Structure 1
Amino acid sequence: MTPERRIGPEALAAYLDHLDAADRAGAVALARGVLADGFSVADVLVDLVAVAQREVGQRWLTGSWSVAQEHAATHVSEQVVDALGATIGPPRRGHVVMACVEGEWHALAARIVTEVVRAAGWGASARDAVALLERPLSAAHTGAPPPPPGDAYVAVLHRRRELVRLALAAVDPPPESAEDVAAGIAHMVDALIAAVRVDDDRLLRDFVGWQEEALTSRGGRALLDGVLGTLERALTEHPRVVARLRAAREGAPDDPGRAD
């Protein structure tokens, strides 16, 4: 049996060099070269572009790259995805619709999935999407309506901007990291809002676990504790929300029996 070919570390290192230099032409040429070597579009997107993007995220996470460097590198990868997507032929198997949730700006992962799926013969176009939307949904696809939002969810959602501002003022990061810290705090508040809405504390705990590395690399563990503590104090009228925040800070499961 012939062993499965894999894109080697040399190609990954060279691709990351192109991302570091925001070198669109070099990155596209490298990806096309790997394609010409007999690798599939899926191979290049999953084993090269996606792997490189994880490294890009890690470099931002640890503070070795600025948010501007991360954005520039991601833009180059988006252009590589465009270039590889242009090599894919027409669909032959059916239709698949890909989407990001409302407010999600990080669409590169969904675009990679889209092109891999298209490369496998499933096609999508703007007209295909319209045709699908015009078809009536069967009873099996409508599902049950979501439960109505509770008072705590509405309150935290409406205070989102205020909560971000309060937490940022409380931790007072240095100017060079203020933008990154503000973004991290905003994402944390969004994770809290989502956890309250669907009544699943894992959303917040998992996010805080990730942010522990992201925020502490920019200000120490005290910064993360300061953010969570500020949110707790600002939301004392909602004991259940405070309990969620405290459980996330302590890494302990919350008590699901109490109501918001």
Structure 2
Amino acid sequence: MTTTHITNPSTGLAGIRERLWAALAARDEEEAAAAVFDACDTGTPLEDVLLDVIGPVQARVGREWAAGRLSVAQEHAVTAIQDRVIAALAHRTAPRPAVGRAVRRRDGAPVHRVTIACVDGEWHALPARLLAEVLRGRGFDVDYLGAQVPTPHLIAHLHQTGTDVVALSSSLPVRLPSAHAAITAVQAVGLPVLVGGAAFGPDGRYARLLGADGWAPDARAAATLLAGGLRRPEEPLPAPHHDLPHLPHLLDQEYTLVARTRVQLTHDVLTGLEDRVPAMSAYTERQRERTAEDIAHIVDFLAASLYTDDAELFTGFLTWTAGILQARGVPTGALLAALDLLADAQRDFPRARAHLAAGRRALTRVPRQPDPGTHA
């Protein structure tokens, strides 16, 4: 049994975050719940607890994983505790009186209900969960569908409910094609779409590219946008997915061909790396699996960058990956070799080769550690 204590308001949000982090690091769910309950009981608004305590602590979980200080299993365990704590908070806190009746959609209709879902293939559900609780706290009626919602199931749900606005969440840019399909399908049934999450870029550039009706950088901004009415900006947004003039680069089929050959590309690059990186001869089976996973992620992000025609999406992922691999003891040279092998396989794809070349240039600017012969 964990002994709980009441948080001193003077401790501030930083103190609450540290208490929650310590509880999560110890996998102490009771203490994690006590940390946030005590914060609410001593006057911290629920929305602040959700967005200024739980949200930043989850971001810290991600950084600890990236630095190699948390395993995937540990990260999942901590995230599960956070999700249960949010659920407990939701049941413990009475919702505010409905304000959604006064909110107007861009067509003038009132917003009574918001459906929130992660796009198909997106398993990072905590940001969407936080948005759901923030909106409930502000008096909106919320349908929260959770992680990884296939678009046909989302549309079937919308036909069966009285939803007024759909909010889609995605953390990984590799889900942007799925997000595009979902945005288009929802708009086809006459509903506006608000999107958010890291996948859409820090400035919402991919939200605009894919034709969303609105984008918000965080849950507070999303709630404010919905309260003010979700209207189209003065500058027209791109056309839906089935109309390609606004995405003419997709006509070259490079995205489609890279996405369809993902498995073969991963296999071929892995085989090629065995010749170019001598240290791989000593890899265990688990290390080979992790290397194959890393290559598959590179192919996925290359495909996403081709879909958006934005090489920065690819280079940003590569520089982030270089840091992750260095934390595992994998030299940047191995990543460069993988890009060269991919470029060889894309000799007939000029856009893919240009994105790979941009990625190579970005990696050469990453500080390189000496190769001690270590591996993933």
**Paired residue secondary structure (1:99):** strand
C-alpha distance 216-126 of structure 1, shift in aligned 2 (>3 A): closer
Alignment match, 2:368: none
Cα deviation for residue 135 of structure 1 reads 6.5
Which one is further off, 72-81 or 205-214?
205-214
Alignment match, 1:109: 127
Aligned residues of 2:116 and 2:143 also touching (Cα < 8 A)? no
C-alpha distance 137-33 of structure 1, shift in aligned 2 (>3 A): closer
Give distance in 2, aligned partners of 1:216 and 1:12.
29
Alignment match, 1:243: 354
Matches within 5 A, 1:41-80: 41-80=46-85
Give distance in 1, aligned partners of 2:46 and 2:268.
46
Structure 2 residue runs of 5 or longer lacking an equivalent are 1-8, 101-112, 146-156, 164-185, 193-230, 245-249, 364-376
Aligned residues of 2:129 and 2:144 also touching (Cα < 8 A)? no
Which one is further off, 24-33 or 183-192?
183-192
Alignment match, 1:99: 117
What TM-score, normalized by structure 2, do the two folds share? 0.58
Paired AA for residue 301 in structure 2:
A
Higher strand share: 2
Give distance in 1, aligned partners of 2:69 and 2:25.
11
Alignment pair present for 1:197 and 2:307: yes
Cα deviation for residue 63 of structure 1 reads 1.0
Give distance in 1, aligned partners of 2:49 and 2:15.
14
Alignment match, 1:155: 257
State the Cα deviation string for residues 189-211 of structure 1 (Å, max 9, x = none): 22211111121222212222322
Cα deviation for residue 21 of structure 1 reads 2.3
**Paired residue secondary structure (1:97):** strand
Aligned residues of 1:18 and 1:27 also touching (Cα < 8 A)? yes
Alignment match, 1:206: 316
State the Cα deviation string for residues 89-134 of structure 1 (Å, max 9, x = none): 2661223332323211111112112211221222213799522279
Alignment pair present for 1:222 and 2:333: yes
Higher helix share: 1
Give distance in 2, aligned partners of 1:107 and 1:14.
23
Aligned residues of 1:181 and 1:215 also touching (Cα < 8 A)? no
**Paired residue secondary structure (2:122):** coil
Structure 1 residue runs of 5 or longer lacking an equivalent are 253-260
Paired AA for residue 213 in structure 1:
G
C-alpha distance 239-143 of structure 1, shift in aligned 2 (>3 A): closer
Aligned residues of 1:236 and 1:242 also touching (Cα < 8 A)? yes
Aligned residues of 1:61 and 1:214 also touching (Cα < 8 A)? yes
Aligned residues of 2:254 and 2:306 also touching (Cα < 8 A)? yes
Aligned residues of 2:266 and 2:296 also touching (Cα < 8 A)? yes
Matches within 5 A, 1:30-49: 30-49=35-54
**Paired residue secondary structure (2:117):** coil
C-alpha distance 158-17 of structure 1, shift in aligned 2 (>3 A): same
C-alpha distance 135-33 of structure 1, shift in aligned 2 (>3 A): same
Aligned residues of 2:116 and 2:144 also touching (Cα < 8 A)? no
Alignment match, 2:6: none
Alignment pair present for 1:84 and 2:102: no
Paired AA for residue 337 in structure 2:
G
Cα deviation for residue 175 of structure 1 reads 5.8
Aligned residues of 1:90 and 1:123 also touching (Cα < 8 A)? no
Alignment match, 1:131: 162
Aligned CA-pair RMSD = 3.2
C-alpha distance 179-109 of structure 1, shift in aligned 2 (>3 A): farther
Alignment pair present for 1:145 and 2:240: yes
Give distance in 2, aligned partners of 1:5 and 1:92.
32
Matches within 5 A, 1:12-23: 12-23=17-28
Give distance in 2, aligned partners of 1:157 and 1:150.
13
Alignment match, 1:28: 33
Cα deviation for residue 18 of structure 1 reads 1.8
Give distance in 2, aligned partners of 1:176 and 1:20.
26
Aligned residues of 2:13 and 2:52 also touching (Cα < 8 A)? no
**Paired residue secondary structure (2:115):** coil
Paired AA for residue 122 in structure 1:
F
Number of paired residues? 249
C-alpha distance 7-187 of structure 1, shift in aligned 2 (>3 A): farther
